A = this chain, B = another copy of it.
Amino acid sequence: MTAPTVSPGAARQGSADLLRSVFRRHAAGVAVITAAGPERPVGFTATSLSSVAADPPLLSFSVGTGSSSWPVLSGAEHVGVHVLGEDQGELAGLFARSGADRFGPGTSWRPGPEGVPVLDGVLAWLVCRVVAKVPAAEHRLVLAEVVAGSPEGPAGSSGRPLLYHGGRFNALRD
């Protein structure tokens, strides 16, 4: 413990506003989560994707129960997880925009393992089996086990990820 440089008096009480202000400083990689629906696929942009454990291979992400994907996702046994490249800000915006036609003619995808929709042109993708949906207020923390996938991006891709920070998309410096 050394000399203080920030007064503890600067602390604010916990609130939604404090959480948002702090996470505006934080950066995240950008993923798209998909699931097969009875009529058509669903999907959404997530900045909460995280690796959790290696054996078995587990990852997590969170989803709002008010999101348009939730009615399908809540019953899905398998999900698709896609790591977006730095040139895929448009795709990330599409899968984040309310009311957008996310699987329309502009989106290139195919049915992958377990019938899960797999997006073309991403840096890497996984198909995962949902193993837990942990309630967290109006959200669910989804824990899923990797069953298949590919870490190979498209030929000619820079291999560099899309980032999200301070309300907009960004990329790596180096």
User: Which residues of A in the span 37-52 have a Cβ within 8 Å of any Cβ on B?
Assistant: 47-52
A53 to chain B, nearest CB (A): 4
Q: How many copies of this protein are present in the complex?
A: 2
Interface size bracket, A side? 35 or more
Name the residue among A8, A11, A138 with the largest chain B CB count within 10 angstroms.
Answer: A11
Q: Please encode chain A, from 95 to 119, with 1 for each CB lying within 8 Å of some chain B CB and 0 for all others.
A: 0000000010101111111000010
Decide yes or no whether A31 CB sits under 8 A from chain B: yes
Q: A27, A29, A141 — which one has the most chain B CB atoms within 10 A of its CB?
A: A27
Given contacts A124-B21, A171-B173, contact A147 B26 (CB under 8 A): no
Q: Which B residues touch A57, using CB under 8 A? A: 14-16, 18-19
Q: Quick one: which of B16, B47, B148 contacts A11, CB cutoff 8 A?
A: B148
A60 close to B60 (CB less than 8 A): yes
Q: Indicate whether A91 reaches chain B with its CB closer than 8 angstroms.
A: no
Q: Does any Cβ of B come within 8 Å of A72's Cβ?
A: no
Q: How long is the Cα–Cα vector from A4 to B112 in the complex, in angstroms?
A: 11
Q: Are A137 and B53 in contact (CB under 8 A)?
A: yes
12 further A-B pairs in the complex, CB-CB below 8 A; given A25-B123, A27-B172, A134-B134: A2-B109, A11-B112, A14-B147, A15-B57, A19-B59, A25-B161, A26-B124, A50-B50, A52-B136, A53-B137, A134-B143, A163-B163
A-B interface, 3 closest residue pairs, ranked by CB to CB distance from nearest: A21-B151, A53-B137, A19-B57
Using a CB–CB cutoff of 8 Å, the interface residues on chain A facing chain B are: 1-6, 8, 10-16, 18-29, 31, 47-60, 62, 64, 83, 103, 105, 107-113, 118, 120-121, 123-128, 132, 134, 136-139, 141, 143, 145-154, 159, 161, 163, 165, 170-174
